[in-house]
A and B are shown apart, each in its own frame.
Chain A
Amino acid sequence: MKKKQLALAIDLNVCVGCHACVTSCKQWNTSGSAGPLADKRPYDEDPTGTFFNRVQTYEVGEYPHTQVVHFPKSCLHCEDPPCVPVCPTGASYKRKEDGIVLVDYDKCIGCGYCSWACPWGVREMDEKNKVMTKCTLCVDRVYDEALPESERKPACVLACPTNARFFGDINDPASEIAQAIQENDGYQLMPEWETNPSNYYFSRKNKAYDAMTGKDEAAS
């Protein structure tokens, strides 16, 4: 029986790049134990700030066959996180009970070494508070009994208007996320580094449309 590993799955088929997950994450986390998340020069030139989740945009292919892919990126909560063993103080740690990787702000000395060890660039040093910050999988929501059960999910998952984000225990075959990963051939990012990221992505394809127009029969 594999250990519980909470994680996200992101469906690139339906992400429209609206950034609702970006702003809901920022709002939730700046106002809780993982915050505040500072902004610098907020109303001035080149405003910048700390965010746990970013949505990027890529163009794949060439006109007229271009696909515009919107790509949300946040900590992948690796099964074998390279950012944990390098931390000198133990501030960077992976929880045994659910596999969430967190930063203990009280221990963090702000050396930045863990971010060097992350190939995906999902850790951000908060320049004002001088500690490393990153996605917490809203651990403070997931276990908050004061919230209705349907809301004990990361803020980004609740905010997504196209249901592009899944959350749950990827090692529980009965969970919605594990089944979605199965059905959609979910994949990991940069598998070459063998850290076994827990977040999965679903690639661009349109099974229903292909089925309807007979394209899948042509392919298979």
Chain B
Amino acid sequence: MKPPFSVIFLTTLIGMGQGLFLALYSEQIYLSLTQGEMEPFNFFFLVSTCIALCLTGLGLIASFFHLGHPERAWRSAACWKTSWLSREVIALPLFILFVFIYSLNFFPGFTTHILKVDSITINLSIVTGFLCSILCIVLFVCTSMIYACLRFLQEWNSLFTMINFMLMGCASGFILAATISSFMAPLLTLNYVVIAIVLTILAATSRSLSLARNKKLRPKSTIQSALGINNPKIVQKSQGAMGGSFNTRIFFHGKSRLFFKSIKWIFLTLAFLIPIIMLLMELENNRPFILLFALLIQYIGLIAERWYFFAEAKHPQNLYYQAIS
């Protein structure tokens, strides 16, 4: 497939926003379980949830650029019964809405986030946060299933697609959390760094396994099945048009084999290897700008990974678009 840049940005930004939210909420759960105080970190939580909102909001805006008729985008919720894209279109704004509600808990002056019903104490931020987490998982599922449900794109049609989206989103979210906290709430940074290392290693492993799986794939469609002609030697001479068509512009990355292969090594290095090394260094140190740098490198790597994700998918329709004359 030809990697669409608006989709690359929107999925990586939204994924990072989702990961950031999970980082915050999981820290919140950890604090409440270890009887830690949230109070000193309110401002950090407020700023971070706002950043999460910005990322997911930017992502939502970027998704409009992928459309031919953005003014009709409201229609895209219609087919949630059958379409993962429809479901994502519902889940994303819902997630943003609930994260916004969650963020209200950290506004100065909003002190009544404790509810007492009879003898039960309900912490509103924990409850809303829990709902956000559900929506966050649902959103990861919907987004990744948009790609994974297409059985014709064998490279995408596997559980790895969902796992990789989740792990990479979470890894980048946790590094972002670590970075913000190293500026604003250094006491929390170590936790984030440790989890970020674990998640990045898991993501690297999972992505490498999916690369290995894809390498072993045998295409289900051949030129023989595409034409229904039973001869081992079939070569296209003309695809019916000589100036290109929609089918030659969208379904193939158009770069050289060398370029394509190098992107793989670039993303493995930038999205996983270098960030892991830098994070390991920071276990002892906690230098904000180093963490920021690690985040930026990982993000570039994730852009490259997402490019590669699209480029490695071989669409069977390409069998019909091989030559001109």
Contact = CB atoms under 8 A, between A and B. Distances in A.
Do the two chains touch directly in the complex (Cβ atoms below 8 Å apart)? Answer: yes
B150 A90 contact: no
A58 B228 contact: no
B251 A48 contact: no
B240 A56 contact: yes
A88 B79 contact: yes
A117 to B, nearest CB: 6
B70 A61 contact: no
Nearest to B75: A89
B236 to A, nearest CB: 5
Nearest to A132: B68
Given A108-B69, A109-B73, A58 B234 contact: yes
A86 interface: yes
Contacts of A188: 228
A115 interface: yes
| Chain B binding surface, main DSSP class | loop
Contact of A71 (B72, B76, B227, B245): B227
A90 B239 CA distance: 30
B246 A56 contact: no
Nearest to B81: A85
B72 A107 contact: yes
Contact of B321 (A68, A110, A121): A121
Interface string B277-310: 0000000000000000000000000000000000
Contact of B235 (A48, A58, A123, A187): A58
A60 interface: yes
Bin chain B's interface residue count: 35 or more
B83 to A, nearest CB: 5
Contacts of A59: 234-235, 237
Interface string B69-96: 1101101111100111110010000000
Contacts of A123: 246
Contacts of B151: 82, 193
Contact of B75 (A45, A109, A121, A189): A109
A48 B245 contact: yes
Contacts of B320: 56, 73, 120-121
Given A62-B233, A109-B69, A118 B82 contact: no
B243 interface: yes
With a 10 A CB-CB cut-off, give which of B68, B72, B73, B250 has the most chain A CB atoms. Answer: B68
A22 B83 contact: no
Given A57-B238, A124-B245, A131-B69, A189 B228 contact: yes
Contacts of B69: 108-110, 130-131
A41 interface: yes
21 contacts: A46-B244, A48-B241, A54-B241, A58-B223, A58-B237, A59-B235, A60-B231, A60-B233, A82-B151, A85-B82, A88-B83, A88-B85, A89-B75, A107-B75, A109-B69, A116-B315, A119-B221, A119-B315, A120-B317, A121-B321, A190-B316
Interface of B: 1, 66-70, 72-73, 75-79, 82-86, 89, 146, 149-153, 220-221, 223, 225-229, 231, 233-247, 250-251, 315-318, 320-321, 325
Given A68-B237, A203-B229, A204-B229, 4 more contacts: A86-B150, A89-B72, A108-B68, A120-B317
